[in-house]
A and B are shown apart, each in its own frame.
Chain A
Amino acid sequence: ETGVTQTPRHLVMGMTNKKSLKCEQHLGHNAMYWYKQSAKKPLELMFVYSLEERVENNSVPSRFSPECPNSSHLFLHLHTLQPEDSALYLCASSQEMRNQPQHFGDGTRLSIL
């Protein structure tokens, strides 16, 4: 069983649509992360949740709205996205100790029409 599972794997949406990305981790971790990976750019951290509380928000536009209902699940709600938001969105999890590595899901490839 994959440690971090993301759905859907691929998503195509129009700029006026609303959709959600889902992430579930089976590793017993208590910190979860959303990253954006665009072509030829480093992975960009979007949000961090630790013990279900948002601890970091890296100046992400409000059209991205995260939700962490418990330590195993993380959502990213999307609305009114722009073409430049097309990217690979990666979820990761780790133990809530700061030298612990993060483990990534397979990502959602998002395309905005």
Chain B
Amino acid sequence: QKEVEQNSGPLSVPEGAIASLNCTYSDRGSQSFFWYRQYSGKSPELIMSIYSNGDKEDGRFTAQLNKASQYVSLLIRDSQPSDSATYLCAVRKSGYALNFGKGTSLLVTP
């Protein structure tokens, strides 16, 4: 079983819609959860971090964490073409290492 799983996509949404990106993880002891955005040819950029169950909102982004279901998601409201990128889910269980999923490719169409 892969440690961090994401649907590779592409996920296509129209401009102005809500994009919903999902991630599951295998280790129940995981403590910290992060979403990164990566444009083609660029480095990952931190979007959100979440550490406790529930929702965390930052502008158009909402991260949701459910530790019982081992599930973390990212919602992007009012999606813009500039949001088109690959979104990486990263999970830290212990130590320093972040385990990354393969990423979900998001395409926002005008």
Which chain A residues have a beta carbon within 8 Å of chain B's beta carbons?
31, 33, 40-43, 45, 48, 50, 55-56, 58, 90, 94, 98-99, 101-107
Contacts and interface: CB of A to CB of B under 8 A. Distances in A.
Contacts of B34: 101-102
Nearest to A49: B96
Scoring B42, B43, B45, B100 by chain A CB atoms within 10 A of each residue's CB, the highest score goes to: B43
B98 interface: yes
Given A33-B96, A56-B95, A41 B45 contact: no
Contacts of B88: 43
14 contacts: A42-B4, A42-B102, A43-B88, A43-B98, A55-B95, A56-B97, A90-B44, A98-B92, A99-B32, A99-B92, A101-B49, A102-B34, A104-B36, A104-B43
B interface residue count range (under 10 / 10 to 19 / 20 to 34 / 35 or more): 20 to 34
Contacts of A99: 31-32, 49, 51, 92
Nearest to B99: A42
Interface in B84-110: 88, 90, 92, 94-103
Interface in B60-102: 88, 90, 92, 94-102
B99 to A, nearest CB: 8
A31 B96 contact: yes
Interface of B: 4, 31-32, 34, 36, 42-46, 49, 51, 88, 90, 92, 94-103
A91 to B, nearest CB: 9
Given A48-B97, A101-B46, A106-B43, 6 more contacts: A31-B96, A41-B102, A48-B96, A56-B95, A90-B44, A98-B32
Contacts of A48: 96-97
A98 B31 contact: yes
B103 to A, nearest CB: 8
A94 B97 CA distance: 11
A104 B44 contact: yes
